Chains A and B, each alone.
Chain A
Amino acid sequence: MSWLDQIFVFLGDKIAGWFPASVQPLVSAVLAIACIMAVFGTCFALTTLAERKLLGRMQNRFGPNRVGPCGLFQPLADGVKMLTKEDIVPFSADKTLHFLAPLVLTTPIWLAFAVLPFGRHMTAVNLDAGILFFFAIGSTSELAVFMAGWSSQNKYSVLGAMRAIAQMISYEVPLVMTAVPVLMLAGSLSLNDVVAAQGTHAFGWLARWNVFTPWGLAGFVLFLIAVTAESNRSPFDLPEGESEIIAGFLIEYSGFKYALFFLGEYLGLFAGAGLAVTLFLGGWQAPVKGLDWVPSWLWFGGKFAVLIFLFIWVRATLPRLRLDQLLNFAWRFMVPLALINLLVAAAWYWSGAWQFAGAALVRWVLCAALFAVPCHWLGRALRGPLPPPRKYSYAE
C-alpha cells in the first residue's frame, strides 16, 4: 500500500517532471501552495457547514438544510452572498489601513501551513526552526486586529480590538510554553523531527505519542485551550459581544472583507489543530503498529477532523467567560501550569532510566501527580472561596 501513501508526492514529482529542470523547484513550490490553498479552502467551506449543522443537532434543531441536498451547498450560497454584498467603508475611516487589515490577517496564516507535515515526505518547507516560524508568523495577526480596530475610527471597534489583542497576547504565552517540552524532548525545532521522535513503539505495539505521557496529556489540553482562545472561539469569543461592544473590531467591515476575517479565524483554528496533531498526536503516524498500512495523510486528516469536531462540540457546550475571568485564567492558571509542565517533562526525561519492575507505571503515576496536585490548588485559588449556600425565603 506504500504507493497510496506516497501518491501525492509521486504525482507532484510527475507534474514537475514535465517542466525543464531549471524551473522544477518553482513548479513544485507552486504545486504545494495550490494544494494547501485548495485543501484548506475547501476545509473552511465544509467546516462552516459542519459547524452550523452540528451546532443545530446539539441544540435540537436542524441547521441549514435548504440549499442543495441536506444543505450541502450552503457554503457556496454564503460565498456568493459575501461577494455580492456592498463593501462599506466608513467616511472617516483610515482607508488604507482599513483595506490592508484583512489581508495582513489572512496572508501570514496561509504561510503557517507551509511547515506542517501533512504526511510522510509531505512537508511543503522543512525549516530547521519550523515551529519558531509558525509562532513568529502567527504573532503578526495581533497587528492586523489592531489595524482593523483602529482604522475603523469607531469607539466600539477600538475597544473590541484592545480586548482581542489582550486576549491573544495572554494566550500566546501558554500556547508557546506548552510546545516547549515537546521540542525539548525531541531535541529539535523542526516539525519533521518532532514527528519522527514520536515514531517508536512502547511494549512493541503502542506508538509513543506525546499525548500518552503525563506531560504530553496536560500539554495537549492546555494547548487546545490556548488555540481556542487564540482563534477567538467560544467559550473565549469575548472580542465580539452584541450587548457590550457589538461585533468588536469587525463592526465596520462588510462583504468580502468580513469574509476574509472569518476565513482568517478558521484558518488560525486549522493551523492550531494541525500543530496540535503534530506536537502531541504523533503527526501522520498510526496509533498502533498494525495500522501502518493506512496512508499517512489519512491519519493526519482523521486526527485533524476529530480535533475540529472537538472544537465545535466545546462551542456548543460551554458558556462564555467574562473578560476578567478570561485574563485571570490565562495568567493565574495556564501560565503557571505550563511552567510546571516543563518540570514534569524534565522529571519524565530523568526517570526514563529507571529499571525496576513496574517502573513504567510508577513513573507515569508520579509524573501525573506532579502535575495534578498544583493543577488542583491553582484551580482552587482561581475559583476563590465558594459563596455561602443560597437561602430562598419565598420559594419554599
Chain B
Amino acid sequence: MPNEIVFLLCAALTLGGAVAAMTMRNLVHCALCAACAFAGLAAFYLQLGAQFVGFAQLLIYVGAIAILIVFTIMLTRGGDIQPGVSGASHNWWVGLSVAALVLACLVRSIMSSPNLLRLPPANVAAPARKIGEALMNRYVMPLQTIGLLLTAALLGAVVIGLREPRHPDTNAR
C-alpha cells in the first residue's frame, strides 16, 4: 500500500509538472514546472530501485538541463509575458493529431512486445558497480561512440563560440 501512495505522488508530480509546463503563460514558470516533472521522473527511477539512474537523472536534468533552459530565458529576455497573445498556436489540431499518432504507435508496439509476457526478474537492484562493469565490458563500444559524439559537439560549440578574428582596420579602439 505505501508503495502505491508513493507511486501516485510521483505520478502526480510528473504529470502535474508536465501539464503546467505546457499551459502556463510565464516562460520561467514553465521551465521550473518542467524541472518538477524531471524530478518526478527521478523519483520513479528511485522507487524502482534504480538508484544510479535516478540520481543521474536528477543531476543531469534538474542540475544541468533545467539550468540551461533557465539561462537561455534569462539571456534572451523571453520571460516577459506578452499580453493578448494566446498560449495555443492557431493550428493546434496538427500538433494534437501528430501526438495522437505517436501515442498510437507507441501503445501498439508496447502491447505487441514479447516482454509483456515475461515475468519480471526477482532481484531488480542494479548496484553502480554492475552498471560500471557492463559499461566497460559489453557496452564499451556505444559508450566510446557517445563520448566521441559529445566531444565533437563540444568542439563545435567552442568553434561557434570563438570570437571572430578582428579585421585589422577596425582593431583600433
Interface residues of A (CB under 8 A from B): 97, 127-129, 132-133, 135-137, 139-140, 142-143, 146-147, 150, 158, 161-162, 165, 169, 172, 187-189
14 additional contacts, CB 8 Å, given A142-B67, A161-B74? A97-B29, A128-B51, A128-B128, A132-B51, A136-B56, A139-B58, A143-B35, A143-B66, A143-B70, A150-B74, A162-B75, A172-B63, A187-B129, A189-B128
B residues 52-70 touching A (CB-CB < 8 Å): 52, 55-56, 58-59, 62-64, 66-67, 70
Asked whether, in the complex, the Cβ of B63 is within 8 Å of the Cβ of A140, the reply is yes
> CA A165 – CA B70 in complex, angstroms?
10
Given A129-B128, A150-B79: A139 in contact with B62 (beta carbons within 8 A): yes
Residues from chain B with Cβ under 8 Å of A172 in the complex: 63
> CA A180 – CA B56 in complex, angstroms?
15
Asked whether, in the complex, the Cβ of A127 is within 8 Å of the Cβ of B51, the reply is yes
**Sampled A-B contacts (25; CB under 8 Å):** A97-B32, A128-B51, A128-B52, A128-B127, A132-B52, A132-B56, A132-B59, A133-B51, A133-B55, A135-B59, A136-B55, A136-B59, A136-B62, A137-B58, A139-B58, A139-B64, A140-B58, A140-B63, A143-B70, A146-B70, A147-B32, A150-B74, A162-B74, A165-B67, A188-B128
Quote the shortest CB–CB distance from A188 to chain B (angstroms). Answer: 7
User: At the interface, is chain A mostly helix, strand, loop or mixed?
Assistant: helix
Interface residues of B (CB under 8 A from A): 28-29, 32, 35, 42, 51-52, 55-56, 58-59, 62-64, 66-67, 70-71, 74-75, 79, 127-129
Residues from chain A with Cβ under 8 Å of B59 in the complex: 132, 135-136, 139
> CA A61 – CA B35 in complex, angstroms?
47
- Residue in A127, A129, A147, A165 whose Cβ sees the most chain B Cβ within 10 Å: A129
Quote the shortest CB–CB distance from A316 to chain B (angstroms). Answer: 32
Q: Which 4 A-B pairs have the closest CB atoms?
A: A139-B63, A136-B58, A136-B59, A132-B55
Residues from chain B with Cβ under 8 Å of A161 in the complex: 74
Closest-by-CB residue of B relative to A132 is B55
> CA A139 – CA B65 in complex, angstroms?
11
> CA A140 – CA B62 in complex, angstroms?
7
Residues from chain B with Cβ under 8 Å of A143 in the complex: 32, 35, 62, 66-67, 70
Quote the shortest CB–CB distance from A22 to chain B (angstroms). Answer: 13
Asked whether, in the complex, the Cβ of B55 is within 8 Å of the Cβ of A162, the reply is no
Residues from chain A with Cβ under 8 Å of B42 in the complex: 136
Closest-by-CB residue of A relative to B53 is A129
> CA A143 – CA B71 in complex, angstroms?
10
Quote the shortest CB–CB distance from B26 to chain A (angstroms). Answer: 8
Set B29, B51, B71: member contacting A162, Cβ < 8 A: B71
Given A97-B32, A128-B127, A129-B128: A142 in contact with B56 (beta carbons within 8 A): no
Closest-by-CB residue of B relative to A183 is B128
Residues from chain A with Cβ under 8 Å of B75 in the complex: 162
Quote the shortest CB–CB distance from B161 to chain A (angstroms). Answer: 12
Asked whether, in the complex, the Cβ of A129 is within 8 Å of the Cβ of B52, the reply is yes
Asked whether, in the complex, the Cβ of A129 is within 8 Å of the Cβ of B58, the reply is no
> CA A135 – CA B128 in complex, angstroms?
15
Quote the shortest CB–CB distance from A122 to chain B (angstroms). Answer: 21
> CA A129 – CA B148 in complex, angstroms?
26
Residues from chain B with Cβ under 8 Å of A135 in the complex: 59, 63
Residues from chain A with Cβ under 8 Å of B128 in the complex: 128-129, 132, 188-189
Quote the shortest CB–CB distance from A376 to chain B (angstroms). Answer: 25
> CA A146 – CA B58 in complex, angstroms?
17
Asked whether, in the complex, the Cβ of A136 is within 8 Å of the Cβ of B63, the reply is yes
Residues from chain A with Cβ under 8 Å of B64 in the complex: 139
Quote the shortest CB–CB distance from B20 to chain A (angstroms). Answer: 12
> CA A140 – CA B42 in complex, angstroms?
13
Closest-by-CB residue of B relative to A133 is B55
Quote the shortest CB–CB distance from A230 to chain B (angstroms). Answer: 12
Residues from chain B with Cβ under 8 Å of A162 in the complex: 71, 74-75
Residues from chain A with Cβ under 8 Å of B52 in the complex: 128-129, 132, 189
Residues from chain A with Cβ under 8 Å of B70 in the complex: 143, 146, 165
> CA A133 – CA B57 in complex, angstroms?
11
Residues from chain B with Cβ under 8 Å of A133 in the complex: 51, 55
Given A140-B63, A147-B32: A188 in contact with B55 (beta carbons within 8 A): no
Residues from chain A with Cβ under 8 Å of B58 in the complex: 136-137, 139-140
> CA A128 – CA B46 in complex, angstroms?
12
Residues from chain A with Cβ under 8 Å of B127 in the complex: 128
